[in-house]
């Protein structure tokens, strides 16, 4: 068992080190790449930690390794959010969640090292870790239908579920532990799980050399620069439906229904919008038309007394919350402030 633990742990460490290099090289200018480096480091720390003897439990130098290992579940959530949500940005609440999870995990582990097992405290740490994993899976699957980067859309399901299940497996496997370092049988489970996780990630990064996978939103190539085929007629028909027919106003509009309306396969419409217009997400593409209509309405003195909610709903937004979020992201101010500034200028 010791031999196989070493083999599995060494193979996983090698793949994680490779991923760390790939994230640092290909994604160093993106948030996803930076979080990928931290996630790979957390995996390496988790592989190293169980191999340290009992004498290292209270050594000062093992604290950074311990903290890095405990950050894995939260880092997976943030990594998935940054990779699959083009509007994601780190907020103070993300840091608070990470720090709170680390404190809970450190306290739970330190009490166990001291020979005091507090089931409620230990369970609290496991639950927080599982919540972070669940959040990562949720954000990975949430926008899959509207993702216009085909390779990334296909990867969402396999990658998120595989990584989520492996982290959940390792976290749940720790529940019966009563001491540290853990027994060899548990080390085999964690080594095999992390090897599977690293293998999926490595295959993802090296198997699909699509520059859009880790590309920053602001550094996308100009519209039409990556077009592989001539979709100009299809895009012209799509633009006519959006600008003249105002199709974007339709409630519950999806790329599937638009493809059916245009009489083309869904994959072709995804490719045309992504490669021909430089868009990464179908909902963001629709919101561009909706926000243009909203800006025009808010700057119109004749609609001064029209409620902002009415303007948003007429433009195709389903509710006020997503409208406010999209408007703030685009204009860096509230709709009310935009209207006041536009009308004062008029």
Q: Which CATH code for domain 2-217?
A: 1.20.1070
Phi, psi at 319, each rounded to 5°: -160, 175
Task: State residue 88's pLDDT score.
Answer: 86
Q: Is residue 67 a contact partner of residue 102, using CB atoms and an 8 Å limit?
A: yes
Token pair, residue 21, equals 């290099």
pLDDT reading at 133 higher than 60: yes
Average pLDDT on 217-237 reads: 64
* pLDDT over threshold 90, residue 78: yes
Q: What is the pLDDT of residue 228?
A: 58
> Which of 17-31, 202-216, 289-303, 306-320 has the weakest average pLDDT?
202-216
CA distance 187 to 168: 15
- Please state the domain extents for the chain: 2-217, 232-345
Closest residue by Cα to residue 163 from 135, 125, 143: 135
**Confidence band, pLDDT 50/70/90 cuts, at residue 263:** very high
Q: How confident is the model at residue 222 (pLDDT cuts 50, 70, 90)?
A: very low
Between 130 and 219, name the one with better pLDDT: 130
CATH of 232-345, one of 1.10.10.60, 3.60.15.10, 3.40.50.1580, 1.25.10.10: 1.10.10.60
Q: Give the pLDDT band of residue 264 (cuts 50, 70, 90).
A: very high
Most distant pair of Cα atoms in the chain: their distance: 78
Q: Give the CA distances from residue 177 to residues 1, 49, 105, 195, 308, in Å, rounded to whole numbers and listed in that order.
A: 18, 15, 14, 21, 56
For residue 269, the model assigns a pLDDT of 92
Q: Is the pLDDT of residue 225 over 50?
A: no
User: For 130-146, what is the mean pLDDT?
Assistant: 86
* 147 CB burial (10 A radius; 0-12, 13-18, 19+): buried
The mean pLDDT value for 292-319 works out to: 92
The helix or strand, by DSSP H or E, that contains position 19, with its residue range, turns out to be helix 2-26
What's the pLDDT tens digit per position in 79-104?
989 888 888 888 999 999 999 888 88
Residue tagged 């433009």 (tokens) = 315
**Is the pLDDT at 223 greater than 60, yes or no?**
no
Is the pLDDT at 5 greater than 60, yes or no? yes
* The predicted structure's pLDDT at residue 224: 44
Over the stretch 167-203, which tens digit does the pLDDT of each residue have? 666 666 666 655 555 666 766 777 777 787 777 777 7
Mean pLDDT in residue range 298-305: 90
Stretch 270-287: mean pLDDT: 90
| pLDDT above 90: residue 123 | no
């Amino acid at each position: 068992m010791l031999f196989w633990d070493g083999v599995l742990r060494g193979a996983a460490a090698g793949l994680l080190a490779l991923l760390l290099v790939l994230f640092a090289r290909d994604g160093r200018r993106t948030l996803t790449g930076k979080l990928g480096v931290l996630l790979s480091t957390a995996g390496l720390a988790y592989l190293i930690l169980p191999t340290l003897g009992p004498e290292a439990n209270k050594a000062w130098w093992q604290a950074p390794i311990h903290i890095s290992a405990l950050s894995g579940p939260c880092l997976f959530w943030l990594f998935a959010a940054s990779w699959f949500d083009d509007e994601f940005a780190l907020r103070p609440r993300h840091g608070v969640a990470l720090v709170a999870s680390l404190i809970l995990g450190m306290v739970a582990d330190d009490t166990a090292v001291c020979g005091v097992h507090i089931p409620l405290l230990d369970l609290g740490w496991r639950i927080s870790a599982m919540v972070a994993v669940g959040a990562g899976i949720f954000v990975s699957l949430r926008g899959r239908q509207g993702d216009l980067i085909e390779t990334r859309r296909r990867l969402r399901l396999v990658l998120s579920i595989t990584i989520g299940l492996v982290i959940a497996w390792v976290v749940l496997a720790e529940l019966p532990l009563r001491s540290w370092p853990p027994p060899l049988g548990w080390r085999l489970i964690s080594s095999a799980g992390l090897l599977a996780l690293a293998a999926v990630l490595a295959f993802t990064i090296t198997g699909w050399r699509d520059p859009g996978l880790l590309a920053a939103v602001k550094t996308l190539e100009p519209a039409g620069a990556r077009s592989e085929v001539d979709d100009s007629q299809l895009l012209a028909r799509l633009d006519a439906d959006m600008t003249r027919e105002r199709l974007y106003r339709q409630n519950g509009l999806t790329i599937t229904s638009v493809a059916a309306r245009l009489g083309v396969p869904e994959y072709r419409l995804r490719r045309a919008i992504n490669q021909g217009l430089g868009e990464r997400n179908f909902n963001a593409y629709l919101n561009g038309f909706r926000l243009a209509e909203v800006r025009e309405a808010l700057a119109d003195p004749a609609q001064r007394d029209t409620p902002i909610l009415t303007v948003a709903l007429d433009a195709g937004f389903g509710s006020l919350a997503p409208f406010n979020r999209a408007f703030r992201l685009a204009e860096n101010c509230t709709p009310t402030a935009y209207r006041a500034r536009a009308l004062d200028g008029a």
